[in-house]
Amino acid sequence: MKKLSATVLAAAAIALTFTGSAHAETNPKCPSGVTKIGSTKYIKSGSATVASVKQFKGCGKNWGYIYVWDSWKASHGNFIAAVTITRGDGGIDENSGSRGQQEVWSNGANTLQFCTMAYGTVSGGGAGFTNEVC
């Protein structure tokens, strides 16, 4: 019985490793690193998860980030993902990826003094806001 339980736990750990839901975010525009702030928004289309939208801070700026999930990209390769920082003063900082680009970072907004949200869109897949962080 103990051997079966260990096998089941090992299989579950391997399955979680290869779900496509986790992705290590590295911001190429902020080499010193970023810290995630607020919650993650999952964009869904029916029961399928399309993308994850997150907000980060680092290098004196706020950053929006969107990652289109492998499982959705596999059957929807002709999409455009975009991410925006919506600032407390009403301004925005948007960046769109190329057609089929899976990971997009905003350009970075000088908005650490404002309440902000990240807003992500995937053409044909939906859109969503993260929670507001002040």
Give pTM, 2 decimals.
0.81
Q: Is 52 domain-assigned?
A: yes
Q: Is 45 domain-assigned?
A: yes
Sign, CA torsion 75/40/59/84: positive
Q: Is 7 domain-assigned?
A: no
Domain total in the chain: 1
**Mean pLDDT, consecutive 10-residue segments, the chain of 134 residues?**
44 38 73 94 96 97 96 93 86 87 94 93 96 94
Q: Is 4 domain-assigned?
A: no
Q: Is 12 domain-assigned?
A: no
Q: Is 3 domain-assigned?
A: no
Degrees to nearest 5, angle at CA 44 with 104 and 123: 50
Domain range for 72 is 23-129
